[in-house]
Amino acid sequence: MDGYKPKTWNASRGCKEVSDECAQCYAKQFAERWRGVVGHPYEFGFDFRLAPFKLEEPLTVPSQCTVFVNSMTDLFYGGDEHDPPPELCMPDEYIRDICDVMLKANWHIYIILTKRAERMKNLLNSNDSVFKQASESPHIWWGVSAGRKEKGLPRIQELQKTRASVRCVSFEPLLEDLGELDLHNIGWGKIGGESGNKGPRLMEKNWARSILSQLWKQGRIPRHFKQWGGVDKKKSGREINGREYNEYPDIANELVGRKPPSRSERLKMIDDLRTYVREQWMDHPLLANVPDKMRPIYLDHQGRRVEKKQLPMFDDNESDSEQ
């Protein structure tokens, strides 16, 4: 997206599969590689964990970014019928805090994709002022993944009933022909095939072409063709119909140039957030298994190491995933 740097932001980690669309979940494969490695952020593999010391990240970056929120989990984890009980899943209050940060750091564009569309709908449609504002803000794009008919199409219907300024659908990994789609109220469509070295399921040309064509016919909905996928996704490339598709909702251009507050104002916001995080989240039971080594390195604003319980900062080498 011109004018924006891509970035991922994960203030929580871990999830569970909800359908066979998750069979090659990149985030799970990445996280499980580190299970048992003492001190690594993913020492506990893909078990769900809160990482509240990362809530402040968007406030620390003054340049405009497209922030893919929760590439290593599902923001609405707990919203599927097979998920564990609520006390082991993402708390509503934590999602609210993530929304609050997105509203404060409003010079970025945030992209949220979920496979738990009903929980997203229920929270965004509620009367809570933070969820209401987050749903109505044009710099926060709310979306669902739909790679198969049976589970994916009902998610699109839930999204259509969700209060959101920009609604997007990620047809990725696209695993079958989705047939005729109703795309009213959808503002952006992203298509991609499955990748990875564990026997990725290949996407057929006609499945992808059909969605591209329906997005165009049903209101010139902007289209992004991410990749063909396969074992070597670079080699298979991202051309279809003899071209690349790199379209985004117009609002992305309209928001280019949004300025962050001054550095001192941002530092004040970060300080306030750290105080709140220490009081609210650092003793939460979902952090119970996090050893001290996995706790943040504590730095002050000049980058000097300071006492524990002060100024957490953390870097965990996360990378992009396919939600």
Instruction: Return the residue of 43, 56, 74, 194 that touches ligand SF4, per CB under 6 A.
Output: 74
CA atoms within 13 A on the CB side of 186: 31
Instruction: Return the residue of 7, 11, 13, 15 that touches ligand SF4, per CB under 6 A.
Output: 15
Distance CA 74, CA 14 (A): 8
Q: Would strands 12-13 and 49-50 be described as parallel, antiparallel, or unpaired?
A: antiparallel
Nearer to ligand SF4, 67 or 277 (CB): 67
* 79, 119 Cβ separation under 8 angstroms: yes
The least distance separating ligand SF4 from the CB of residue 45, rounded to whole angstroms, comes to 12
Q: If binding is defined by CB under 6 A, does position 117 make contact with ligand SF4?
A: no
Contact letters (x/-) for ligand SF4, 286-315, by CB under 6 A? ------------------------------
Q: If binding is defined by CB under 6 A, does position 49 make contact with ligand SF4?
A: no
Q: If binding is defined by CB under 6 A, does position 12 make contact with ligand SF4?
A: no
Q: Which residue has the tokens 């990362």?
A: 54
Instruction: Return the residue of 13, 115, 190, 238 that touches ligand SF4, per CB under 6 A.
Output: 115
Q: If binding is defined by CB under 6 A, does position 17 make contact with ligand SF4?
A: yes
Q: If binding is defined by CB under 6 A, does position 31 make contact with ligand SF4?
A: no
Q: At what angle do helices 92-104 and 129-136 cross, to 10 degrees?
A: 50
Nearer to ligand SF4, 25 or 215 (CB): 25
Q: If binding is defined by CB under 6 A, does position 252 make contact with ligand SF4?
A: no
Distance CA 226, CA 53 (A): 31
The least distance separating ligand SF4 from the CB of residue 77, rounded to whole angstroms, comes to 7
The least distance separating ligand SF4 from the CB of residue 221, rounded to whole angstroms, comes to 23
Using alpha carbons only, give the angle 251, 257, 263 rounded to the nearest 5 degrees.
130
Of 22-30, 117-125, 226-234, 238-246, the segment contacting ligand SF4 by CB under 6 A is 22-30
Q: If binding is defined by CB under 6 A, does position 90 make contact with ligand SF4?
A: no
The least distance separating ligand SF4 from the CB of residue 115, rounded to whole angstroms, comes to 4
Q: Hey, what long-range contacts does 199-202 have (CB within 8 A, 24 or more apart)?
A: 200/24, 200/173, 200/229, 200/230, 200/231, 201/23, 201/24, 201/173, 201/175, 202/229, 202/230
Instruction: Return the residue of 11, 22, 140, 183 that touches ligand SF4, per CB under 6 A.
Output: 22
Q: If binding is defined by CB under 6 A, does position 18 make contact with ligand SF4?
A: yes
Of 23-31, 104-112, 187-195, 237-245, the segment contacting ligand SF4 by CB under 6 A is 23-31
Q: Residue 270's Cα: distance from chain center in Å?
A: 21
Nearer to ligand SF4, 22 or 269 (CB): 22
Nearer to ligand SF4, 22 or 181 (CB): 22
Q: If binding is defined by CB under 6 A, does position 323 make contact with ligand SF4?
A: yes
* 68, 58 Cβ separation under 8 angstroms: no
Residues in the site for ligand SF4, rule: CB under 6 A?
15, 17-18, 22, 25, 27-28, 73-74, 115, 323
